[in-house]
Chains A and B, each alone.
Chain A
């Protein structure tokens, strides 16, 4: 069966909420039902039929053709199946997804993967601020799954991360892993200021020594640990990176001692 494809007709005139366009949200709907779904956010909200040309039938495999920074909440609550966006998306892509796969071939806005707890979200371009982070009032950010950004990420990547893996391949802004509870953030490329600020537990894994650390991170020296080899091989096997991130004996900073000091920053030495 051909993938259910939503082809964007023109740049939307208002912000669109695409949280309904998931396999679970569309299951059992007729073409007419789908065309009538309200996705606009204005006083006279646009429907799917106003904005997209819809073809194909397979709701387990959804393609959104042509991106726009105005399409928000793509793949919200995705539990199974696959969604692919051929261009950019707005904020909160993959918000609270629990399974399945969401691939964004362009860049994503703020709060991509916010509160996700399972599945795989891959962004080929850049991501905005608060990658995987909580919305205002929420206690935790991402709670599981895998979030891959092939480009850069903004500030506060992995804020309040509790479980799961975030991999960022071309560097990130300031405050990566801000207040993280646990989980893993791997970054290749330049890392901004004060990564791991107020982190309780968890791991920040860098391919170089971080430049601007909070004074509450302590140099723990070189570590000769099997974990670095295990995790490097995992990242390579998952085709996230093609050469080891940490290498054989990474350096370690322990912190944030302003909180519990049980977190760690592991980094490849010699760079």
Chain B
């Protein structure tokens, strides 16, 4: 494989392969940012991969009080799924169990999409007849009485079919501390990109996978080519100086958002340099046949 070098970091001439997804975005607010984030973190828990969680979700960004509909601090949450029905199901369940229940929360639509997805429309019956419908400014809200006041929730949010899931970067480093440092730098940079989320724990995934496996029924199994403890035993992608690999997976509202996020992550890790962070940066793909979206690292370099 051909390689480029930037600031002493090797960049593989390869690409990340990503897929079209359905996505939506909401704003969760609360009396304090702490509690808005708590509702958002709870709602986006167990949402790392569509394979096992039904959806991929994370906080896109925090919003100051001046940027939210009700003038309280909040955060923007994005949720991705493979189909509209699954997205609606995940949204309703997570909203009902994690946001409705969180103290002081309110929830608003934050995506103008091609079709509506139910938010408050699905939860209003919790009000048992005491729910209040309010329509103003071209929007529809439900107010549901709860024990600390009211749960205010917009009736619907929008769905986009232009979302992309599966943008990724692989950071190959001399040891796990350096891989972690590189990945954390990338996460911090990508968090600033609007419309892009990293659904894995803290934005980072250590168990990258390949398609299929030797056992029947396994849709995915360990990416042995990038597992340092198997170097030499299997056909490895790792050179002798690599002892740890971490990956960042990116879902974006649009293909451009994924591209911008990968660009930001690349720049952060290249700026960090090989001595403190990654020796080499790569990306995961399936040969280019499965995913419609390809992000070539050489096109995204600073």
Contact = CB atoms under 8 A, between A and B. Distances in A.
Contacts of A238: 137
Contacts of B137: 234, 237-238
Question: What bracket does the count of chain B residues touching chain A fall in?
Answer: 20 to 34
B70 A233 contact: yes
Interface in A218-247: 223-227, 229-234, 237-238
A224 B149 contact: yes
B136 A262 contact: no
Interface of B: 29, 69-72, 104, 106, 129-130, 132-137, 141, 143, 148-150, 152
A237 B104 CA distance: 24
Given A233-B69, A233-B70, A233-B71, A227 B133 contact: no
Interface in A164-219: 165, 182, 184, 201, 203
Given A223-B150, A224-B148, A229 B135 contact: no
Nearest to A223: B149
Interface of A: 163, 165, 182, 184, 201, 203, 223-227, 229-234, 237-238, 262, 264
B133 A225 contact: no
B29 A226 contact: yes
Binding site of A, secondary structure by majority: helix, strand, loop or mixed? mixed
Among A163, A203, A226, A229, max chain B CB count under 10 A is at: A226
Nearest to A236: B71
Contacts of B141: 227, 230
A233 B70 CA distance: 7
Report which residue of A184, A227, A233, A262 has the largest number of chain B beta carbons within 10 angstroms of its beta carbon: A227
Contacts of A227: 70, 134, 141, 143, 150, 152
22 contacts: A223-B149, A225-B143, A225-B152, A226-B29, A226-B106, A226-B152, A227-B70, A227-B141, A227-B143, A230-B70, A230-B106, A230-B141, A230-B152, A231-B134, A233-B69, A233-B71, A234-B136, A234-B137, A237-B137, A238-B137, A262-B132, A264-B132
